[in-house]
Amino acid sequence: MITLKEVKSKKDLKAFVKFPFKLYKDSKYWVPPIISQEIKTFDKKENPVFNDAEAQLFLAYKNGEIVGRIAAIVNWLEIKEQNIKKMRFGWFDFIDDPEVSKALLSEVEKIGKSYNLEFTEGPVGFSNLDKVGVMTEGFDSIAPMVTWYNHAYYAKHYRDAGYEIEKSYSESKFPFTNVKPEFFKKAQDLIKRRYQLKALNLTTTEEVMPYADKMFDLFNESYASLSSFVAINEVQKAYFKKKFISFINPEYIKFIVDKDDKMIGFAIVMPAFAKALQKMKGKLFPFGFRHILKAKKHSKDVIFYLIGIHPDYQNKGVHAVIFNEYYDTFKAKGIETCYRTPELEDNEAIHKIWKHFSPEVYKRRKTFRKNLT
């Protein structure tokens, strides 16, 4: 018999966060989160997303042992401002027992119906900067820190519970040797002259910070047309600056501005922290920081996390300017492999940007949906 327990105490929250450590203890490819940071994600005093959203966390028990977990998420900005009556769910992990997965999903559906929402979708997070999708291909490769890893049986559980595919994502990689500067060197010179653009070369976090708010504003503008986009507000900007910027090498953040110093393009690349996180086993102390700092300085793999171009400059080749800046940085650092985070498979514009690098799709993932009405 499966019993569900809502997470109310600090002890239960820690159990919620640590359940995957047991579920994936024998996996070479699962990457553990930093436990303290994951706990703060669900702390209403720490995470400003709770100003406009709410979450109920549940643990599933069988024979007295935890066998599954799920986060039921309501994003009121999405529901009230965009009129998308969606019940979100994420952090969904479970043993290979359909009674467990169905019990957890049923709880989410019950909550969605209580709010008169129209459908559920997951796995997703609170916002567009959270992890997304259940992996359906690529189980034999390590997961980047910005994605979820899962066992191969997960997708079947969704289908057996009456869920259908809502969105499809792909993740790609390419060796840095595939990057041929002739594809963008001449073009970027022409584009900079034509539109009077310049790239900012920043070398310290202190130099990056004054531009961070403008970057998030541009993120909101450039991604607004994508499905299920929820804009980042002022309070969340401060939170994400604190949470992410210090982890990124400042020279891996590129800003493109026009003649009036208005930001019209940006990109964020992160060092690959996955192997460092595996060594840390979820703990920053006493030695976890060393692994993070070593990866930040010396990782030969990088992850393209975000690229944003102002709508007025899209399809005008601004990405060539960005790639030119990264080429020089990566060449100096001896970068070997470039990875891309999950991208919607129907986002033709983003796929065209990368075509000259001959990327290889090495993972695919889906979100699943079920109607509640």
> What percentage of the chain reaches a pLDDT higher than 70?
99
Would the pLDDT of 289 be above 90?
A: no
Comparison of pLDDT for 354 and 100, the residue scoring more = 100
The per-residue pLDDT for 227 is: 62
Would you state the structure tokens that stand for residue 17, as one six-digit string?
Answer: 């966060």
The per-residue pLDDT for 232 is: 80
The per-residue pLDDT for 228 is: 63
Question: What mean pLDDT is predicted for residues 171-189?
Answer: 92
The per-residue pLDDT for 255 is: 96
The per-residue pLDDT for 82 is: 86
Q: In CATH, which superfamily holds the domain spanning 2-171?
A: Gcn5-related N-acetyltransferase (GNAT) (3.40.630.30)
CATH number, domain 175-362, options 3.30.450.370, 3.40.50.970, 3.40.630.30, 3.40.50.620: 3.40.630.30
> What percentage of the chain reaches a pLDDT higher than 90?
70
Question: What mean pLDDT is predicted for residues 201-210?
Answer: 89
Domain boundaries for CATH 3.40.630.30 within the chain: 2-171, 175-362
The per-residue pLDDT for 97 is: 98
Would the pLDDT of 1 be above 70?
A: yes
Comparison of pLDDT for 242 and 337, the residue scoring more = 337
The per-residue pLDDT for 4 is: 98
Comparison of pLDDT for 147 and 243, the residue scoring more = 147
Q: Tell me which range, 95-109, 192-206, 269-283, is most confidently predicted by mean pLDDT.
A: 95-109
Question: What mean pLDDT is predicted for residues 13-42?
Answer: 96
The per-residue pLDDT for 288 is: 74
Question: What mean pLDDT is predicted for residues 262-276?
Answer: 92
Average pLDDT, the chain: 92
Question: What mean pLDDT is predicted for residues 279-283?
Answer: 90
Comparison of pLDDT for 95 and 143, the residue scoring more = 95
Split at pLDDT 50, 70, 90, the class of 102 is very high
Question: What mean pLDDT is predicted for residues 135-140?
Answer: 97
Choice among 90-94, 181-185, 289-293 with the minimum mean pLDDT: 289-293
Q: Is 281 left (phi over 0), alpha (psi -120 to 50) or beta?
A: left
